[in-house]
């Protein structure tokens, strides 16, 4: 079964390359695609956070991996692609929870979004508390190390 998706928006920001760390200072504008009506963003500012589903559209199919050291660092264990958030994924789809800073016409302004300029946005969803994880979140120690400078 194949799934076809059409981007609903495009990312505009100053980050031109996929660099792993220091995303805190990046403010991103997400502009609706021409085929999406402006009213699709009506009342979006009633929410503080959004989930953005996007495409790693600059990753070639040949770059896809199914297991490996996170960030290519041999100090970390070899883990499956579904046990990490690497961009070289089978379907090259990303997901990020962002903070909504504002809305202007066909554009939303967000921070804490790790997508580079020109990235295709597949969907935008508001964060509902009821969809947040139930219980304590568990993760291995190597993740803490990988993420230590991500949002600096």
Q: Give the pTM.
A: 0.92
Task: Summarize pLDDT for 95-116 with one digit per residue, the tens.
Answer: 999 999 999 999 999 999 999 9
Q: Is residue 70 part of a domain?
A: yes
Give the DSSP per-residue string, the chain: --------EEEESS--S--SS--TT-EEEEEE-TTS-GGGGTTGGG-SEEEEEEE-TTS-GGG--SEE-GGG-TTSPPEEGGGS--S--SS-EEEEEEEEEEEETTEEEEES----TTPEEEEEEEPPGGGSPPS-----HHHHHHHTTTT-
Q: Is residue 138 part of a domain?
A: yes
For residue 56, what are the domain limits? Answer: 9-147
Q: Please choose, from the candidates 69, 52, 66, the residue with its C-alpha nearest in 3D space to the C-alpha of residue 115.
A: 52
* CB hemisphere CA count around 71 (13 angstroms): 13
Task: Summarize pLDDT for 43-56 with one digit per residue, the tens.
Answer: 999 999 999 999 99
Q: Is residue 87 part of a domain?
A: yes
Q: Is residue 104 part of a domain?
A: yes
| pLDDT given at position 22 | 66
Q: Is residue 116 part of a domain?
A: yes
Q: Does residue 70 have a pLDDT over 90?
A: yes
End-to-end CA separation in angstroms for the chain: 40
Q: What are phi and psi of 142, to 5 degrees?
A: -60, -30
Residue in the block written with tokens 């554009």: 107
Q: Is residue 23 part of a domain?
A: yes
The predicted model gives 47-74 an average pLDDT of 94
- CATH code of the domain containing 100: 2.40.30.70
**Number of domains the chain contains:** 1
């Amino acid at each position: 079964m194949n799934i076809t998706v059409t981007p609903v928006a495009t990312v505009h920001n100053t980050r031109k390359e996929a660099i792993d760390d220091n995303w805190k200072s990046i403010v991103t504008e997400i502009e609706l695609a021409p085929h999406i009506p402006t009213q699709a963003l009506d009342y979006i500012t009633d929410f503080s956070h959004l989930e953005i589903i996007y495409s790693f559209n600059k990753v070639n199919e040949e770059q896809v991996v199914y297991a490996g050291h996170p960030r290519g660092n041999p100090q970390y264990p070899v883990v499956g692609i579904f046990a990490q958030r690497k961009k070289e994924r089978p379907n090259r789809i990303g997901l990020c929870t962002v903070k909504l800073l504002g809305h202007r016409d066909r554009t939303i302004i967000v921070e804490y979004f790790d997508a580079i300029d020109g990235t295709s946005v597949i969907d935008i969803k508001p964060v509902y508390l009821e969809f947040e994880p139930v219980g304590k979140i568990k993760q291995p120690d190597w993740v803490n190390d990988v993420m230590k400078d991500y949002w600096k």
